[in-house]
């Protein structure tokens, strides 16, 4: 059976980008068709300046939201990364097969480290090695497929390189995984700045729709979305990034093609209104279910405990095999 692994980082509240780019596929298809593991990757949240209490809170909130969105513990495995030591054990071995040049070429590293430096902060070493930990997340489980948004594709490419290299040098140990991107909304853009990605850790939040935003807040954010000069509704990322983003959001909500939708609008206002309504309806059940689940943290903790137990069982043989293959003396 196909094995799937994917993760989400608790650095901020989950966004519509996370939902459309990744979580919805996990819920609607992946958990039904494969042996699927989904992980709240809390160790990754420590790679940038962080508040311990907030990371802890956001980790539980992310897990609760994933359940609210429809992940079913009877169908898939949901757990928290730091509960399974195999991730960091394997990460170190992979660091010993990767080069610093490879890490420095990662687009996210370049962007995030530049941002940290601009704001006078120092860049954590773990930000540089982040993609190796991500590779370990995936390779520890022998995942065949990694459903992610477009911004993670380069990291999955690196994971493939590291797996192939390790296998060639030390013998067949890892499955070489591939990224699977959604058909639409692989890159949801910020509503106020439609040339940059809608990201959960941005400081300016008026262009970001959070899964837990109230309906009127969602509506206001979409209605105030930056649009482009002119008044024609066309799907063209370069010439009309704002309108294109709205068309893609509406397409993702309705299952129609963005180009086909564009043909039905003669004004930005009508497009915004329909997009706002569609997003509100899309998120309503998630928010309602979240409210129920948030009232029962013991249930969520139980799901995560069982998820981690099973994840450990799955990861340990592969990670132990990697320890042997790379030349470490087995403990007696
Ligand atoms: P993270 O937490 O930034 O995002 C989680 C998932 O949401 C997708 N995504 C988006 N998709 C479309 N449009 C957007 N604006 C948007 N923003 C986010 C991301 O592509 C991702 O699929 N490094 C990862 C977490 C991770 C991981 C892994 C993923 C750690 N280990 C192993 C897969 C496998 C990250 O920071 O995702």
Residue 143 CA: nearest ligand 1 atom is 34
Residue 322 has pLDDT above 90, yes or no: yes
Q: Convert the pLDDT of each residue in 70-120 to its tens digit.
A: 999 999 999 999 999 999 999 999 999 999 999 999 999 999 999 888 988
Q: How many Å apart are CA 27 and CA 4, to the nearest integer?
A: 12
Return the percentage of the chain with pLDDT > 90, whole number.
93
Quick one: average pLDDT of 174-186?
Answer: 95
Helices and strands (H and E) in the chain: how many: 14, 5
240 given a catalytic annotation: no
Q: Convert the pLDDT of each residue in 196-218 to its tens digit.
A: 999 987 778 999 999 999 999 99
Q: Is 188 in the pocket of ligand 1 (CB under 6 A)?
A: yes
Q: What is the mean pLDDT of the chain?
A: 96
Give the pLDDT band of residue 28 (cuts 50, 70, 90): very high
CA torsion through residues 104, 105, 108, 114, sign: positive
Are residues 11 and 58 in contact, defined by beta-carbon separation less than 8 angstroms?
yes
110 given a catalytic annotation: no
Domains by residue range for the chain, with CATH: 3-181+297-326 (3.40.50.620), 215-291 (1.10.240.10)
pLDDT of residue 121: 85
Least confident of 81-85, 229-233, 240-244, 268-272: 229-233
Q: How many Å apart are CA 63 and CA 40, to the nearest integer?
A: 7
Residue 228 has pLDDT above 90, yes or no: no
What letter would DSSP give residue 239?
T
Q: In sequence order, what are the residues at sequence separation of 6 or more whose Cβ sits closer than 8 angstroms to the Cβ of residue 229? A: none
Are residues 110 and 135 in contact, defined by beta-carbon separation less than 8 angstroms?
no
pLDDT of residue 120: 86
pLDDT of residue 56: 98
pLDDT of residue 200: 84
Residue 25 has pLDDT above 90, yes or no: yes
Q: Is 194 in the pocket of ligand 1 (CB under 6 A)?
A: no
Residue nearest to atom 4 of ligand 1 (CA): 8
Q: How far is CA 68 from CA 61, 65, 211, 303, in A?
A: 10, 5, 10, 13
| C-alpha of residue 42 to centroid of ligand 1, in Å | 13
């Amino acid at each position: 059976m196909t094995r799937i692994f994917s993760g989400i980082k608790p650095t901020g509240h989950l966004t519509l980008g996370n939902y459309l780019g990744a979580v919805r596929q996990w819920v609607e298809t992946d958990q039904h068709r494969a042996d699927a593991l989904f992980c709240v990757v809390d160790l990754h949240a420590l790679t940038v300046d962080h508040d311990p209490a907030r990371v802890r809170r956001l980790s539980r909130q992310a897990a609760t939201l994933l359940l609210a969105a429809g992940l079913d513990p009877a169908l898939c495995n949901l757990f928290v990364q730091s509960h399974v030591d195999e991730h960091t054990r394997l990460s170190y071995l992979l660091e010993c097969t990767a080069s610093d040049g490879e890490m420095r070429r990662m687009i996210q590293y370049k962007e995030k480290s530049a941002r940290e430096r601009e704001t006078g902060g120092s860049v954590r070493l773990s930000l540089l090695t982040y993609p190796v930990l991500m590779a370990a997340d995936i390779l520890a489980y022998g995942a065949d497929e990694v459903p992610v948004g477009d911004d993670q594709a380069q990291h999955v490419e690196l994971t493939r390189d590291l797996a192939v290299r390790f296998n060639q040098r030390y013998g067949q140990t890892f499955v070489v995984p591939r990224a699977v991107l959604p058909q639409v909304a692989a890159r949801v853009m910020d509503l106020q700045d439609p040339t940059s990605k809608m990201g959960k850790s941005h400081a300016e939040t008026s262009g970001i729709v959070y899964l837990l935003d109230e309906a009127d807040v969602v509506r206001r954010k979409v209605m105030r979305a930056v649009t482009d000069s002119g008044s024609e509704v066309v799907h063209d990322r370069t010439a009309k990034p704002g309108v294109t983003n709205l068309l893609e959001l509406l397409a993702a909500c309705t299952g129609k093609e963005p180009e086909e939708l564009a043909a039905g609008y003669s004004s930005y206002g009508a497009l915004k209104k329909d997009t706002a309504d569609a997003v509100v309806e899309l998120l309503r059940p998630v928010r309602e279910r979240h409210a129920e689940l948030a009232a029962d943290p013991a249930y969520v903790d139980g799901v995560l405990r069982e998820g981690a137990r099973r994840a450990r069982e799955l990861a340990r043989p592969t990670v132990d095999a990697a320890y042997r293959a790379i030349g470490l003396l087995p403990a007696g």
